[in-house]
């Protein structure tokens, strides 16, 4: 996935723009809450941890943060369809980093306005913390055998971001954000994801044979790597382990799997000839999707392989 972090300074114009867009009336008296801002974006899964309960993933970023902060973990459910297995669900919608930047810009501006002098920074993907472990510790889900966060409502079709801020637990409670700190739980290990994985990557914990990783690998592929991509049948990513998960089936049955976020729903490539849709995309549209970070040449190579005309050694 594209690496992105938010270490920008002045976000006043951005957050004011988004407050107007989402009709949130902000005053120093606290007319709105952090919870309200998240809900305006149709984000309904969030909880906080003290930073002392989070495990560092990036020591450099971690060292830049002031101590004694709270970390609000935010989930971005993205499932809008499966493109008939030809494109991973996360690759079939606009890059979530764009939405995360908008959300965290609004939250940073709100904290600066209501709590002058307080620290607030948003992160997505390239985080100071182990995101899956932290979100599980905050009670937002469990850790799957495929190393993804699994939630009751959206299964594992969620992206994770976090707002690091110097608000206390009491202040967060007034902002509508629960603070939770529990031991992270793992899934029941039913084995369905392992059995569904076309290459055994889930069972072996190997990224070398993971089809999602291979479709993102730049340059020429070996004959074995190309064969694995062809086995998976997807030009970008792989959802086999996620689709097989019983939590996915339960979410489908309950009708909660589909994202409530228009940013994702409205950008879904669709089930009708998704590969053709990608091939026909103009450069401006192409750049809005997650696969753009590996450039069109990589995606075109994968399409060639899937169509049975691989030219790799």
Domain assignment present for residue 22? The answer is: yes
The boundaries of the domain holding residue 105 are 4-174
CA distance 34 to 14: 16
Catalytic residue ranges:
125
Structural domain total, the chain? 1
Phi then psi for residue 36, to 5 deg, are -65, -40
Model pLDDT for residues 228-250, shown as the tens digit of each residue: 999 999 999 999 999 999 999 99
Q: Check residue 308 and give its pLDDT.
A: 82
Q: Check residue 8 and give its pLDDT.
A: 36
Q: Check residue 32 and give its pLDDT.
A: 73
Domain assignment present for residue 163? The answer is: yes
Model pLDDT for residues 259-297, shown as the tens digit of each residue: 999 999 999 999 999 999 999 999 999 999 999 999 999
- Residue ranges in the chain whose pLDDT is less than 70: 1-31, 309-313
Q: Round the average pLDDT of the chain to a whole number and report it.
A: 89
Torsion of CA 150, 155, 157, 161, to 10 degrees: -50
Q: Check residue 1 and give its pLDDT.
A: 32
Taken in order 244, 142, 238, 292, the sign of the CA dihedral is: positive
Domain assignment present for residue 234? The answer is: no
Domain assignment present for residue 132? The answer is: yes
């Amino acid at each position: 996935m594209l690496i992105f972090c938010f270490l920008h300074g002045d976000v006043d114009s951005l957050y004011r723009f988004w407050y107007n867009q989402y009709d949130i009336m902000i005053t120093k008296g606290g007319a709105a809450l952090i919870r309200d801002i998240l809900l305006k974006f149709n984000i309904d899964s969030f909880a906080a941890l003290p930073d002392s309960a989070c495990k560092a993933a990036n020591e450099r970023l971690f060292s830049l943060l002031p101590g004694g902060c709270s970390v609000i973990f935010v989930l971005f459910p993205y499932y809008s369809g499966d493109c008939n297995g030809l494109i991973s669900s996360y690759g079939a919608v606009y890059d979530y980093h764009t939405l995360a930047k908008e959300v965290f810009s609004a939250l940073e501006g709100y904290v600066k306005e209501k709590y002058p002098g307080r620290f607030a920074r948003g992160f997505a993907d390239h985080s100071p913390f182990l995101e899956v472990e932290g979100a599980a510790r905050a009670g937002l889900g469990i850790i799957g055998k495929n190393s993804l966060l699994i939630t009751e409502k959206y299964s594992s079709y969620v992206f994770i971001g976090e707002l690091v801020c110097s608000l206390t637990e009491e202040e967060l409670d007034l902002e509508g954000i629960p603070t939770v700190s529990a031991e992270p739980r793992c899934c029941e290990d039913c084995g369905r994801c392992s059995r569904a994985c076309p290459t055994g990557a889930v069972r072996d914990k190997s990224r070398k044979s993971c089809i999602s990783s291979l479709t993102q690998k730049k340059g020429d592929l070996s004959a074995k790597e190309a064969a694995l991509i062809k086995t998976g049948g997807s030009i970008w990513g792989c959802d086999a382990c996620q689709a097989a998960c019983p939590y996915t089936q339960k979410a489908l049955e309950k009708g909660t799997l589909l994202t409530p976020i228009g940013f994702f729903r409205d950008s879904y490539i669709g089930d009708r000839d998704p590969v053709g849709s990608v091939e026909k995309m103009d450069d401006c549209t192409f750049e809005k999707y997650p696969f753009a970070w590996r450039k069109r040449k990589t995606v075109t190579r994968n399409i060639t392989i899937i169509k049975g005309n691989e030219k790799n050694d």
